[in-house]
Structure 1
């Protein structure tokens, strides 16, 4: 067991590499052939291509608990929110059937991939603090969903990222939207996402196994009262949360998402090509500058060469640790207290859930 400070230093290069892979995912997918940007006719899903690229880069896999699959049609999908890994894991789990509703800050932090997602109408960015008129915001959602290739929504009803052992209470905003539009909702919980890419703990790990479970579809049109509908959603959420987090990470079949075939208009393809070209040029310029800086450092003298070699060894060791070592356990009184409280509150439910899961060969 490495001391916490040493483990944090060991994690850092792999974490920065993971964030870079996510930041430049469209460019990486285009340069490696996952994203066939030259295909201008016929079915093409840039989102699926990028998600496949990220899955190969992080080498994660998801196991599917027995039960319903991701629903098709116009649905509001309710996902749990753990960290930056959600950005690509949840879209892959959903088969890229929905447009994620994300804060505008995500676009500011990751402009290289959000600009491409916006160009193909596969993400919705909004200013949470600027939503003063709820019905106006809902009408904006109606318009955006009607114009895009995907007319479903992927939302995080907890309202913020949380890595606690228990779920946060669900916010009401998007539930009210689903209820007002008589849209069905489906709860999708995935355990272990924060182990893949974790901005709070500043780590990235490769080859992690996740567990995903989907609830039955809940038809909001069957409820006349919103509070009754919200209560039913909360119960469905709690049940699915317990079921997924109680399940072992082995013995279940791999999740195989069903991705829809999309056809982009000429305008969308032109916009996406422009976004790809712009940010690929930026990536090329930054890469060139970085290589030149390292080359100058290497010829600056013995100290420079030692620094370059040390950086290379540090990075190699970090990537090896990301592939071979499990994520560190939560530490500190706060984490232990949260885990203890969660265990007391959820122990009985988890035991019942494990007992209810079918045995696997």
Structure 2
């Protein structure tokens, strides 16, 4: 006779937890179908896929993309490379991918675009949004958490933190993806780039490749807490040419004008390229990915509409700056 197997306390609690995770979306779906779907997707992506990701994250670095692929398949996400897009860098030299930041879904859907061994930079607050997957990163070191603000002009301690993560024995991905805008935005223009990561790439001589993506906010967004599986989502992206900071060093033998061979010139070039990529390609995307729907009617929409392509980001940044100044006074 076999002895009756008994469950351990933690196994019982885990079963209860999983039952609750399943029941809550079902109950909500009865009242509000789209919000119930959102909770179901959240439960799958941020709970069900975690054991799979954890158990396979050690066998092969490419298995770290499992979470992204399972999530994209579950959300019926498809990707499309926009015309003129350059090949995404996958070489051995360290590279920093600079990307626009729209929603928390960037954390797992950007990976299906890059298809490369890429770690990510994220602030500690992200852990509150998806604690279980973030616990996995303690073992895979695929997301590097930092504290927002408080660094001032002395960025060297932060740069040393990045150096340690790049060289950490459990960092199996060769490159780093970050969102230099510093904030999420679904507006049809880029926010100004923070100087910290651009300066790090310049001082450590990391290659930089700007990449813009459209449609992630339609796949799963914390702005609406709604989801419709019948529509699916199309993520369109454009990757620019690689920018080598060595060309912007004062003693460089390059085609860059001497007056621009410095950190300011490098930052200006990076921001110009990513702004241009965003503006030109936003005009080409699928109608469902057009972000003009997020503009407020009135002064904001009129300003954006009248600004020529090539200066929309600058015009809108100036507009936002002026609004903030008025609000302070």
TM-score (norm 2): 0.71
Alignment of 1:235-314 (within 5 A): 235-249=272-286
2:108 aligned partner? 88
d(CA) in 2 for partners of 1:340, 1:185:
34
* Residue 14 (structure 1) shift: 1.7
SS at match of 1:204: coil
Does residue 13 (structure 1) correspond to residue 36 (structure 2)? The answer is: yes
- The alignment's C-alpha RMSD in Å is 2.9
* Residue 101 (structure 1) shift: 0.2
d(CA) in 2 for partners of 1:175, 1:168:
15
| Equivalent residues of 2:189, 2:279 under 8 A apart | no
d(CA) in 2 for partners of 1:138, 1:200:
32
Does residue 141 (structure 1) correspond to residue 180 (structure 2)? The answer is: no
* Residue 69 (structure 1) shift: 1.5
Does residue 51 (structure 1) correspond to residue 68 (structure 2)? The answer is: yes
Q: 5+ unaligned residues in a row in structure 2: which ranges?
A: 1-30, 250-261, 313-329
Structure number with higher relative contact order (C-alpha < 8 Å, ≥ 6 residues apart): 1
2:89 aligned partner? 71
d(CA) in 2 for partners of 1:104, 1:208:
28
Deviations 1:199-223 (A, max 9, x none): 1122234411121100000001111
2:258 aligned partner? none
| Equivalent residues of 1:195, 1:205 under 8 A apart | no
d(CA) in 2 for partners of 1:95, 1:334:
35
2:14 aligned partner? none
* Residue 104 (structure 1) shift: 0.3
How many residues end up aligned between the 2 structures? Answer: 262
1:129 aligned partner? 149
| Equivalent residues of 1:76, 1:154 under 8 A apart | yes
| Alignment partner of 1:213 out of 229, 235, 238 | 238
2:296 aligned partner? 334
Q: 1:107 to 1:346 in 2, by over 3 A?
A: farther
2:256 aligned partner? none
1:233 aligned partner? 270
| Equivalent residues of 1:26, 1:116 under 8 A apart | no
* Residue 46 (structure 1) shift: 3.1
d(CA) in 2 for partners of 1:39, 1:330:
39
| Alignment partner of 1:161 out of 184, 187, 209 | 184
Q: 1:59 to 1:135 in 2, by over 3 A?
A: same
2:9 aligned partner? none
Q: Which stretch shows the higher mean deviation, 183-192 or 45-54? A: 45-54
Q: 5+ unaligned residues in a row in structure 1: which ranges?
A: 1-7, 251-325, 351-361
Q: 1:191 to 1:40 in 2, by over 3 A?
A: closer
Q: 1:83 to 1:139 in 2, by over 3 A?
A: same
